[in-house]
């Protein structure tokens, strides 16, 4: 709730505990009925389009940088696992970026970083996430184009 209160785009997601055979879930398809949620954790747990052929890479970069700035202003250390992209089932259309896997997100009273270091780390995790996302899910004929638009932090 603290992350939402800061203005960060947060949605709860599926959590599978294999040891106790339990699932805690909030279905993103309620808000996006024709979409799929893709994270870096384990893409075999969900059905994904063969390849994504149309994403707003500039919009995702802008959203990542906005999240990094908001998190930094609120002394929050994001993690690469926190980022999640929701895409249409078809692989074509509007994409949405959310923070969903929050177990590695830190917000202690005193993080061991200067504000600039924290901003750089938050941005880099978002950029790394987006790079892996493009490498894993974007159609091979479009990967180089999308990757060239992702800034090196």
Higher pLDDT, 87 or 90: 87
Task: Yes or no: say if 44 and 127 are a contact pair by the CB < 8 Å rule.
Answer: no
> Strand, coil or helix: what is 19?
coil
- The predicted model scores a pTM of 0.75
Task: Yes or no: say if 129 and 83 are a contact pair by the CB < 8 Å rule.
Answer: yes
Please state whether beta strands 83-88 and 96-99 pair in parallel, antiparallel, or not at all (unpaired): antiparallel
Q: What is the mean pLDDT of residues 118-122?
A: 94
If you write DSSP's letter for every residue of 80-143 in order, what string do you get?
GGGEEEEEETTSBS--EEEE---TT-B--SS-SS-HHHHHHHHHHHHHHHHHHHHHHHB-HHHH
Name residues whose C-beta falls within 8 Å of residue 29's C-beta, 6 or more positions apart in sequence. 35
Can you name the residues that pair with 52 across neighbouring β-strands? 138
Q: What pLDDT, in 10s, does the model give residues 4-18?
A: 778 777 766 555 555
From CA 118, how far away is CA 132, in angstroms rounded?
21
Q: What pLDDT, in 10s, does the model give residues 25-75?
A: 444 444 444 445 455 544 444 445 557 778 889 999 999 999 999 999 989
From CA 145, how far away is CA 139, in angstroms rounded?
11
Q: Which pLDDT belongs to residue 62?
A: 95
């Amino acid at each position: 709730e603290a992350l939402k209160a800061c203005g960060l785009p947060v949605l709860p997601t599926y959590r599978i505990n294999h040891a106790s055979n339990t699932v805690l879930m909030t279905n993103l398809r309620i808000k996006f009925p024709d979409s799929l949620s893709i994270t870096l954790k384990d893409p075999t747990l969900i059905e994904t389009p063969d390849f994504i052929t149309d994403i707003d890479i500039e919009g995702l970069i802008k959203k990542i940088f906005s999240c990094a700035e908001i998190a930094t202003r609120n002394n929050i250390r994001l993690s690469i696992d926190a980022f999640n992209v929701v895409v249409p089932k078809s692989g074509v259309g509007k994409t949405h970026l959310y923070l969903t896997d929050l177990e590695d997100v830190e917000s202690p009273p005193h993080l061991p970083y200067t504000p600039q270091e924290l901003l750089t780390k938050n941005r880099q995790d978002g950029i790394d996430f987006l790079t892996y996302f493009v490498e894993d899910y974007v159609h091979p004929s479009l990967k180089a184009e999308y990757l060239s638009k992702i800034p090196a932090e």
